[in-house]
Structure 1
Amino acid sequence: MPPVPRHIPAIHRRDTSIQSRNRTPRPTTVSTPASVASNSSWTFSAEELRKFRNITAKLHPDVRLQTHKLGIWPVICPKKGRRKQKSCKPPPFKYNVSDHTTCAVVGNGGILLESHCGAEIDSKDYVIRMNLPAIRGFERDVGRRTNLTVLNVSTPNRIRNSSLLENRTEDVYESRLRDINGTFLIASAREHAALETAMQQYQNQFSFVLLTSRRSFKVSRHIHRAAPGVHSAPEGGTPGLPSTGLAAVLTATALCDHLFLYGFFPFQQDENKRPLPYHYYPGDSIEPIIQAENHYMDKEYQFTNGGS
């Protein structure tokens, strides 16, 4: 049975450095460019939100994902009475993400630069990030803490390829893994091998609880049920795929009472026409990171911001 949420969560946004004033238990809206403004005519429905949580409860990592050891873990044998057994079989490996009161789900958007959101992010009970972003050097804007990192299908391969670079100064992922050592990683099962290769290259100096889904983490009927129509095909077009960010947000609703979203602003300019980079941190030496064309980011933004 899916874990029963303690109560329906509120979702809060921090897309800019403007101090969030609304802490009422319902999704809030923010000031956005007119072309991407949310639908301000929506009304709150406790019944619809209850149905929403019934769907996303099936996305809870403890329900949906399998746990694996990644890196070197000490073998701790159970004791029998006062005497420790000479040979033993370790107990089944199982770690739970569990439930939390407040969660920060931190996107990688350039809107976070100069936001000064770091302390607020770190104040939350649980911090979820995506695709192993740079944290060191950006702590004032994005915080220091990470509890769970969701990886898209390309990031594990980037980590592996980076770990194999002969010029070690070009590898940015070793320091990023060190910063989140001992936390949870989410990836699809087919990326397990790439992560194992990277751990071996790093001489198993890190240990993670790896959570895997049989298919891509974001390909799930529950994600499409929770966000109906968001990825439907326009006339003459092809259906879109949920972004890793949206999949992480929907999953977080299953384990968090109150969600606070940061850095989810998929536009090239802010409301003051200030140019924004795609990510708040620079690229690495593997290959350029570009926004996938099969994501309907504007629709996802409106959906998470209370729009239709």
Structure 2
Amino acid sequence: MTVTNGSMKEVWFSFQNWSCKDIVFVILCISTCVANYVFGVAYSLPNKKRSITNKPFTYAASHMHTAEILNNKTAFKEETVVTRDILIQKEGAVNETLIEYYRKKLQTFGFTMKSFLLPYKIKAPGLHRRVDKFYNTCAVVGSSGILNGSQCGEEISSHEFIIRLNMATIDGFQKDVGNRTDLMSINYPISHALDKCLRNTKCRDSAYRRLKPIKNSILLFHEFHDPNPNWKLQGHKQFIQSLKRYNLLPDIRVSAKNATLRLKSAWNITKQPSGGLRGITAALLMCRSISMYGYYPFSEGTNGEPLQYHYFDNGFWNKKIHNMSEEYSIFKKLDKIGRIRLVTNKCKKDLI
């Protein structure tokens, strides 16, 4: 059909006589046609069905934004946690390196290097610790009294990455426990006590001296996103604000949601995991070679000598919460199969 100048003028004249309602109606009609066309093309494409079944948190989820990980309810429902012993090795695993074997096992429970050490929203200025690389040698240092007189300090400090637990002090004990900390874990009772001291002039100096050495380290908060009780979360947050107020803010990291439940399933233990088991889990995710020191939950040493509970004080563990003997058997088994080196003897012999 040929469109003449006359017909074009008629159309233009007719358009000028349209009301606003007519114009809006035409625009809506055009928009509807375009939308129908687009959606029709989209649905005509091949579409793989996506499974929405509840699965344990996988490695792919570690690349999610922190907030997405923490709010990923589908991945962390309690009933989806698989109960099996991570220590049970299949014959096929002998062809894999031990580090890869355990790392893959831990991934099935939602633990990766990044997901186990989630960055907190408050960042220390200029401080960016490396938690996305593998370390050749790592030392996981407990607090057992067996470290007193061990002369393991030099050996511990020679490791590339050193993990300590629950704000264990090293001041005055360097000869036995080393002089450096790269990752320090902390539980609620200790964070609450330190926060109270930072707010109290009577013990503020003591708390400051204990916190200052880890300013350039990673501080990992356990049970940060576990569902109950909520007051623990609030207490941790209040302590972090106190650290910021007194210019003591380290690289804050927090455990993922339901980490405690998933650790119990991964290691097949009957009670809550202690800081020691959390520490060895972190090491298995980020280290090629691991040595453990100060993990010895007994009142007598290997030669029958009496031991205090901590190398720095004579505390005790809550047997209703942790089963240290059960966890120690795990460490012994890991040592026996050659995955870690569990050190319970002195590193240097006493000079006669």
CA shift for structure 1 position 252: 1.0
SS at match of 2:120: strand
Counterpart of 1:297 (choices 317, 324, 334) is 324
Superimposed CA distance per residue, residues 152-179 of structure 1 (whole angstroms, 9 cap, x where no aligned partner): 232211211221233137x533112111
RMSD of the TM alignment (CA)?
2.9
Which residue is equivalent to 1:198? 242
Taking a change above 3 Å as real, the CA distance of residues 274 and 72 of structure 1, as seen in their structure-2 partners, is same
Which residue is equivalent to 1:257? 288
Q: Aligned partners of 2:211 and 2:236: how far apart in 1?
A: 16
Taking a change above 3 Å as real, the CA distance of residues 96 and 264 of structure 1, as seen in their structure-2 partners, is same
SS at match of 1:55: helix
What amino acid is aligned across from residue 263 of structure 1 in structure 2? G
Q: Is 2:202 aligned against 1:139?
A: no
Which residue is equivalent to 1:279? 310
Cα pair 1:153 1:216 within 8 Å, conserved = no
In our comparison, the structure showing a higher alpha carbon Rg is 2
Which one has a larger percent helix, Structure 1 or Structure 2? 2
Q: Aligned partners of 1:121 and 1:69: how far apart in 2?
A: 32
What amino acid is aligned across from residue 184 of structure 1 in structure 2? I
When normalised by structure 1's length, the TM-score is 0.67
Taking a change above 3 Å as real, the CA distance of residues 160 and 101 of structure 1, as seen in their structure-2 partners, is same
Which residue is equivalent to 2:250? 208
Long gaps (5+) in structure 2? 1-57, 61-90, 226-232, 337-352
Counterpart of 1:153 (choices 188, 202, 205) is 188
CA shift for structure 1 position 135: 0.8
Cα pair 1:160 1:197 within 8 Å, conserved = no
Cα pair 2:103 2:112 within 8 Å, conserved = no
Q: How much identity, in percent, do the aligned residues show?
A: 27
Q: Aligned partners of 2:163 and 2:104: how far apart in 1?
A: 21
Q: How does 1:160-179 map to 2 (within 5 A)?
A: 160-168=195-203, 172-179=206-213
Counterpart of 1:242 (choices 270, 273, 284) is 273
Cα pair 1:159 1:198 within 8 Å, conserved = no
CA shift for structure 1 position 66: 2.5
Which residue is equivalent to 1:46? 94
Superimposed CA distance per residue, residues 204-223 of structure 1 (whole angstroms, 9 cap, x where no aligned partner): 32231111125475x041x2
Cα pair 1:61 1:211 within 8 Å, conserved = no
Cα pair 1:246 1:300 within 8 Å, conserved = yes
Cα pair 1:71 1:206 within 8 Å, conserved = no
What amino acid is aligned across from residue 292 of structure 1 in structure 2? N
CA shift for structure 1 position 52: 2.9
Counterpart of 1:268 (choices 290, 294, 299) is 299
CA shift for structure 1 position 247: 1.4
When normalised by structure 2's length, the TM-score is 0.59
Q: Aligned partners of 1:303 and 1:72: how far apart in 2?
A: 36
Q: How does 1:39-78 map to 2 (within 5 A)?
A: 46=94, 49=98, 51-57=101-107, 58-68=110-120, 73=125
Q: How does 1:86-165 map to 2 (within 5 A)?
A: 96-98=130-132, 99-165=134-200
Long gaps (5+) in structure 1? 4-42, 75-92, 233-239, 284-288
Cα pair 1:112 1:142 within 8 Å, conserved = yes
Taking a change above 3 Å as real, the CA distance of residues 140 and 302 of structure 1, as seen in their structure-2 partners, is same
Q: Which is further off, 150-159 or 106-115?
A: 150-159
Q: Aligned partners of 1:141 and 1:226: how far apart in 2?
A: 32
SS at match of 1:149: strand
Q: How many residues align?
A: 232
Q: Aligned partners of 1:142 and 1:168: how far apart in 2?
A: 25
Superimposed CA distance per residue, residues 74-130 of structure 1 (whole angstroms, 9 cap, x where no aligned partner): 6xxxxxxxxxxxxxxxxxx97541321100000011110000000001000000001
What amino acid is aligned across from residue 207 of structure 1 in structure 2? L
Higher relative contact order (CA 8 A, sep 6+): 1
Q: Aligned partners of 1:264 and 1:70: how far apart in 2?
A: 32
Q: Aligned partners of 1:226 and 1:62: how far apart in 2?
A: 18
CA shift for structure 1 position 69: 5.8
Which one has a larger percent strand, Structure 1 or Structure 2? 1
What amino acid is aligned across from residue 218 of structure 2 in structure 1? F
